[in-house]
Amino acid sequence: MAVNPPKLSAPLPVPGFRIGTASCGVKAPELKGQRTDLTIIAADVDCHAAGTFTQNRLRAACVDLGEQAVHEHGGAIRGIVANSGNANAGTGIREAEWAQMMIATAADALGVQPGQMLSASTGVIGTPFPIARIQSGIREAAACASQWQDAAHAIRTTDTFAKWASRRVGDVTITGIAKGSGMIHPNMATMLGFIATDAPLTQAQLQPMLRRAVRQSFNAISVDGDTSTNDTVYLLASGLGLGGAAMQDTSEFETALTGLCIELAQMIVRDGEGVSKFVTIRIEGAASVEDAYQVGRTIAVSPLVKTAFAGSDANWGRIVAAAGNAGIDFEADRISLACDDVMMMENGQLHPEYRDEAGMAVFARPEFSITLNLGMGEAAATVWTGDLTHEYITINAEYRT
């Protein structure tokens, strides 16, 4: 029941990268051959790499290893190996062993050093990792006979559609894929996102650009307020794009990167577990951008706001009540609230022309915007969220069955 999933054109290949996928039955041996669940993104040359990682205190071993690899070999990364179906998390010391075996097998199959490979896992937490099946899948995928869209399919868990986006910036290309549907919450690093470019940029240039882009995209969405143990975004740059020339203007690249991340992040919300409404929450008039995000996120995770969306019920009092729980200082008599073009409150007062029918008409739309002005300053932020529906309960009460 994804909300207006975009019709995607084929993703652009990126010079220097090859893609492999395989079906190894990660979740259960009998699923082998039924759906792909293993992905390799192989680089032909040493890449500069940047990453953002989950803020969950109990993060998976593969996240720790990946952060370490970016830190130690961030100018010589040769690829990413990823599986869906099992997060390889919450199982103790064997986690790190399994993650290292996965990396070593991929490095061996691609003829690179283990320190040059990044890995990612997504799926159920707390279940032993089927390393033998995964190793067999890695050897198969290493032939790299697939395309980016195949990789976007193979990293899915409860996602109902595969998510990718591409941009051209002058002569260079950026292509990214992402997965995520539940356990999605701002203030994270993010779910899984892998982005590749042939731009000639160094790690020192890539890392701050990625951080800023993630803040405005993957960190600005929420499906259910839960942050995963495995969230990771990687950005690899092969540097093959300009034939050895340096990039003059990186700001155009950063704008394209940010736009691509927002596009992927919005797809995650549209495909959020059980989501039937796509809602843009715009916070304006905040004292700081951080305040604006904090208020936006607090509204985006409120179960009462999200069930009002689900019920197409313009119970907008819940929106201002949720804003009041953000822990941010503002005054009731300065706030203004509108949903699409319908004003509910102005300077803290009920808008004299507001009629419930007009609000109900907005809330009945599959996509609409909420604009809350705090009247405290000039800062603004936008977050995206969905509703909380019966289908979310069904999906998550029965996830393992």
Task: Indicate which single residue of 308, 338, 342, 370 sits in contact with a second copy (rule: CB under 8 A).
Answer: 308
Active-site residue identified among 21, 54, 190, 385: 190
Stretch (H or E) spanning 368: strand 367-373
Tell the residue number behind the tokens 């492999």, with chain if given. 20
Instruction: Restricting to residues 192-221, name those near a second copy by CB under 8 A.
Output: none
Buried b (16+ CB within 10 A) or exposed e, 65-104: bbbebbeebbebbbbbbbbbbbbbbebeeebbebbebbbe
Give the total of residues touching a second copy (CB under 8 A): 69
Q: How far is the CB of 297 from a second copy (least distance, A)?
A: 13
CB closer to a second copy out of 267 and 308: 308
Tell the residue number behind the tokens 């869209």, with chain if given. 149
Q: How far is the CB of 249 from a second copy (least distance, A)?
A: 39
124 phi and psi, to 5 degrees? Answer: -70, 145
Q: How far is the CB of 130 from a second copy (least distance, A)?
A: 15
Write down the H helix ranges in 240-389. 250-270, 289-301, 303-310, 317-323, 356-363
Q: How far is the CB of 344 from a second copy (least distance, A)?
A: 8
Question: Which residues have CB under 8 Å from 208's CB, separation 6+?
Answer: none
Instruction: Restricting to residues 226-255, name those near a second copy by CB under 8 A.
Output: 226-229
Q: How far is 99 from 31, CA to CA, in rounded Å?
A: 22
Cα 372 from chain centroid (whole Å) = 25
Please confirm, yes or no, whether 190 is among the known catalytic residues: yes
Regarding 334 and contact with a second copy (CB under 8 A), the answer is: no
CB closer to a second copy out of 17 and 363: 363
**Cα angle: 24, vertex 28, 32; to 5 degrees:** 35
Pairing of strands 349-350, 163-169: unpaired
Regarding 388 and contact with a second copy (CB under 8 A), the answer is: yes
Regarding 357 and contact with a second copy (CB under 8 A), the answer is: no
Regarding 316 and contact with a second copy (CB under 8 A), the answer is: yes
Regarding 287 and contact with a second copy (CB under 8 A), the answer is: no
DSSP classification of residue 334: G
Both structure tokens of 59: 């993060």
Pairing of strands 172-179, 163-169: antiparallel
Q: How far is the CB of 136 from a second copy (least distance, A)?
A: 24
Instruction: Restricting to residues 44-63, name those near a second copy by CB under 8 A.
Output: 55-59
Regarding 124 and contact with a second copy (CB under 8 A), the answer is: yes
CB closer to a second copy out of 333 and 357: 333
Stretch that binds a second copy, among 139-147, 177-185, 237-245, 278-286 (CB under 8 A): 177-185
Active-site amino acid positions: 190
Residues that bind a second copy (CB under 8 A): 55-59, 87, 89-93, 124-128, 182-183, 185, 224-229, 301-304, 307-308, 310-311, 313, 315-318, 320-330, 332-333, 335, 344-345, 348-350, 388-390, 392-394, 396-401
